[in-house]
Amino acid sequence: MIHKIHHKKLYDELVYSDTNEGHIIEHVVQPLGFFVPCFISGWSYKEFILAYLIIAARALMRHDYRCSWLIGNHHLLHHKYRNYNYGEYWIDCICGTVYPNKDEYIYGLIYT
C-alpha cells in the first residue's frame, strides 16, 4: 500500500520532520486538493502563499505530539489507530471514521 511508507514510524516516535515521509505518488496527488481550488477561485499569489504557509505549518504540527496542546491530537490518533481519523475532523464525522474513544483525545487551544 502506498500510504504505508508514511506510517513506518511508530505513533510515539513521530516528530514534525516525519510529515513529508511518503510515497512519491502521494507527494504528487495530495497537493491537488489545495492547488486546484486555489487556481479555480483565482486567488492572488499573496493569498496563495499565506494559505500554503498556514497549511504547511499545521501539517508539521499534526505529526508532532509536542504540538498537541495547540492543535490537538486528532491526526496523531490516526497514526496510532489506522482505521480512524484519516483527515479533517469534520470529514471524519461525515464518513464515520472518527476514533470513538474520546478519553484519548487532546483538545488543542485552536484546533481539535
What is 50-68 written as a DSSP string?
Answer: HHHHHHHHHHHHHT-GGGH
CB 76 within 8 A of CB 63: yes
pLDDT tens, 65-94?
A: 999 999 999 999 999 998 999 888 999 999
Is 49 in the same domain as 83?
Answer: no
Is 29 in the same domain as 41?
Answer: yes
In a domain, 7, yes or no: no
Confidence (pTM): 0.82
Is 71 in the same domain as 99?
Answer: yes
Q: What is the structure's pLDDT at 112?
A: 66
Q: How many domains would you assign to the chain?
A: 2
Residue 69 or 20, more confident: 69
Is 70 in the same domain as 101?
Answer: yes
56 Ramachandran zone, left/alpha/beta (phi>0; psi -120 to 50): alpha
Segments forming the whole domain that contains residue 34: 22-62
Is 44 in the same domain as 70?
Answer: no
